[in-house]
């Protein structure tokens, strides 16, 4: 073994499927080809000015310059509780039922280390945000994939989960509106999850990264609004996508007080909390006007319709998603996710994400992100129409 070999846990992580595609993109760009990326989901518009102004004031205040506490600023916790009440009709005790997280990604990883031992199982949506599988693997636990299939509205089939996996399950990760499928939660699904979690004593983690990014009048609920949810679960709420704040690392965990206490206990050993100025800006974001969010959603809806229309013209039929910043589409006959993504890159110099990147059940699909400026999306769509029809 060499001194720079990774640990067995790191070695066990699935390969980074985008690596080969990235290499090709780099080659193309070097050759002067204008590649348009519809790969990553990172809002292209600036953070709303009222949030930036709150940050400017907070960053100038020496009171925010020292180590934050992992419990979080009262202002941020209270703003989250107020937001959950107004937006979701969920009552949150700001003292015990919420603490900040340095992004949902940190929170999900650390939940794995807080709750999973070797031999334990995490139930994870497939396809899904890669951290639902990477987190448990790094924590030395096992993952039971829950396929998200079109015939079930891209929700896990709870009746089909292996009983052995259920008996060892300690965590279940769910996420609606869903990345990468764009699906919204089917009626009654959260209620059934609560029932299952009660029966099998696992902790539900609802990843609520996209509740503010919805279209066509759809308003996404919080998992915590489901009767009994707080007894069995937590929700990870992120300001990244809805408030154009991906770079700020501003999120929170809300819900079951005992679970949050355990997560806090782990965090006190690992990080030193979320910069208090970011917490103050986060509070301003949550207390602020809703219009900027509505304007962003109009922009995404317009892009979504452009993409869905263009895909239809090249023979790829998709229904327009009601939430998230993604269009999830089946690859044309005769292709795998990867060969299609390669074809789009070669023929149209456009990057789409192969569905298999998000888990085995993502095979046969590709994902288009709507976070590219309008004119670049139009150009990408035009190229796909021209080269792939």
Ligand X SMILES: Cc1ncc(COP(=O)(O)O)c(C=O)c1O
Task: State the residues that interact with ligand X by CB under 6 A.
Answer: 41, 103-105, 129, 175, 179, 207, 209, 238, 240, 246, 251
Q: Which is nearer to ligand X, 209 or 350 (CB)?
A: 209
Give the span between the Cα atoms of 102 and 270, in whole angstroms: 12
> What's the CA gap between 389 and 367, in Å, rounded?
19
- Of residues 102 and 259, the one with the C-beta less far from ligand X: 102
Return the ∠ at Cα 210 (arms to 205 and 216), rounded to 5°: 135
Rounded to the nearest whole angstrom, what is the least distance from the CB of residue 41 to ligand X in the complex? 5
- 265: Cβ contacts below 8 Å, ≥ 6 apart: 114
Q: How far is CA 12 from the centre of its chain?
A: 23
- Residue 236: beta bridge partners? 207, 253
Nearer to ligand X, 105 or 170 (CB): 105
Which is nearer to ligand X, 87 or 383 (by Cβ)? 87
Angle at 366 (CA atoms; ends 252, 154), nearest 5 degrees: 60
Cβ distance to ligand X smaller for residue 226 or 244: 244
Judged by CB, which is closer to ligand X: 183, or 203?
A: 183
In eight-state DSSP terms, residue 40 is -
For residue 186, how far is the Cα from the chain centroid?
18
Least distance (Å) from ligand X to the CB of residue 1?
A: 33
Closest separation in Å from C-beta 246 to ligand X:
5
Partners of 328 in the β-ladder: 367
CB of 369 to ligand X, least distance (A): 9
The minimum distance between CB 208 and ligand X, in angstroms, equals: 8
Nearer to ligand X, 240 or 372 (CB): 240
Q: Give the Cβ contact number of residue 6 at 10 Å.
A: 9
Question: Smallest distance, Å, CB 164 to ligand X?
Answer: 27
In the complex, the smallest distance separating the C-beta of residue 25 from ligand X, rounded to whole angstroms, is 19
Strand locations in the chain (E): 36-37, 98-101, 121-126, 142-147, 169-174, 203-208, 233-238, 251-255, 326-330, 350-351, 353-354, 365-369
Residue found under tokens 């699906």: 183
């Amino acid at each position: 073994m060499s001194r720079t070999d990774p640990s067995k846990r790191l070695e066990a992580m699935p390969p980074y499927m985008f690596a080969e595609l990235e290499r090709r993109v780099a080659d193309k760009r070097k050759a002067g080809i204008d590649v348009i990326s519809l790969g990553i989901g990172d809002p292209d518009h600036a953070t709303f000015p009222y949030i930036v102004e709150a940050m400017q004031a907070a960053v100038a205040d020496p009171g925010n310059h020292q180590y934050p506490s992992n419990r979080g600023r009262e202002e941020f916790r209270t703003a989250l509780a107020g937001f959950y009440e107004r937006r979701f009709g969920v009552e949150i005790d700001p003292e015990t039922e919420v603490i900040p997280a340095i992004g949902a990604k940190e929170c999900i990883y650390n939940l794995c280390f807080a709750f999973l031992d070797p031999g334990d199982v995490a139930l994870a949506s497939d396809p899904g945000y890669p951290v639902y599988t990477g987190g448990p693997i790094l924590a030395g636990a096992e993952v039971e994939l829950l396929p998200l299939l079109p015939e079930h509205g891209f929700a896990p089939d709870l009746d089909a989960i292996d009983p052995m996996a259920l008996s060892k399950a300690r965590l279940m990760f769910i996420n609606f509106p869903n990345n990468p499928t764009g699906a919204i939660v089917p009626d009654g699904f959260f209620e059934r999850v609560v029932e299952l979690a009660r029966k099998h004593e696992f902790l539900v983690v609802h990843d609520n990264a996209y509740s503010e990014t919805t279209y066509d009048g759809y308003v996404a609920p919080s998992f915590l609004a489901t009767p009994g949810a707080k007894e069995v679960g937590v929700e990870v709420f992120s300001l990244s996508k809805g408030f154009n704040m991906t770079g700020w690392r501003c999120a929170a965990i809300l819900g079951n007080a005992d679970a949050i206490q355990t997560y806090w206990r782990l965090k006190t050993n690992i990080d030193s909390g979320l910069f208090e100025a970011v917490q103050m800006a986060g509070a301003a974001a949550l207390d602020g006007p809703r219009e900027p969010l509505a304007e962003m959603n109009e922009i995404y809806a317009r892009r979504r319709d452009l993409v869905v229309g263009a895909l239809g013209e090249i023979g790829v039929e998709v229904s327009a998603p009601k939430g998230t910043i993604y269009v999830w589409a089946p690859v044309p006959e005769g292709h795998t996710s990867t060969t299609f993504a390669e074809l789009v890159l070669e023929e149209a110099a456009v990057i789409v994400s192969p569905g298999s990147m998000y888990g085995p059940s993502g095979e046969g699909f590709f994902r288009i992100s709507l976070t590219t400026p309008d004119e670049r999306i139009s150009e990408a769509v035009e190229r796909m129409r021209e080269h792939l029809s």
